[in-house]
Amino acid sequence: MLDVNKLTQAEIKRLGIEALTKALGPVEMARFMQQFEKGSGDYTRDRDEILGNQTIDEIFKRIEERRQKQEKGE
């Protein structure tokens, strides 16, 4: 039996991945691991740069304009 108190972080990670791969298979193990990956960037800052400080009314107006263009085939 392993003495988990003597394992390094890298060894624990390796053993965990091996156990997940054995239990789930390699593809499902990868899908499982993707749930825990950290993203990068600052979502709030990026969203504010892209969208600005729009009101709900402005957003709805843009949605309606886009719908009308799609209906006209533009």
> What is the per-residue pLDDT across 4-58, written as a single tens digit (0 to 9) for each?
678 999 999 999 999 999 999 999 999 999 888 777 888 888 888 888 888 899 9
- In terms of domains, do 27 and 47 share one? no
Q: How confident is the model at residue 49, as a pLDDT? A: 87
Give whole-number Cα distances, 30 to 18, 41, 74, in Å: 11, 23, 41
> Are 8 and 30 in the same domain?
yes
- At 1 the pLDDT is 65
pLDDT value of residue 54: 86
Q: Domains in the chain: how many in total? A: 2
* All residues at 6 or more sequence positions from 15 whose CB lies less than 8 Å from its CB, including other chains: 2, 7
Domain extent at residue 21: 4-34
User: What does the pLDDT read at residue 20?
Assistant: 95
CA distance 51 to 62: 12
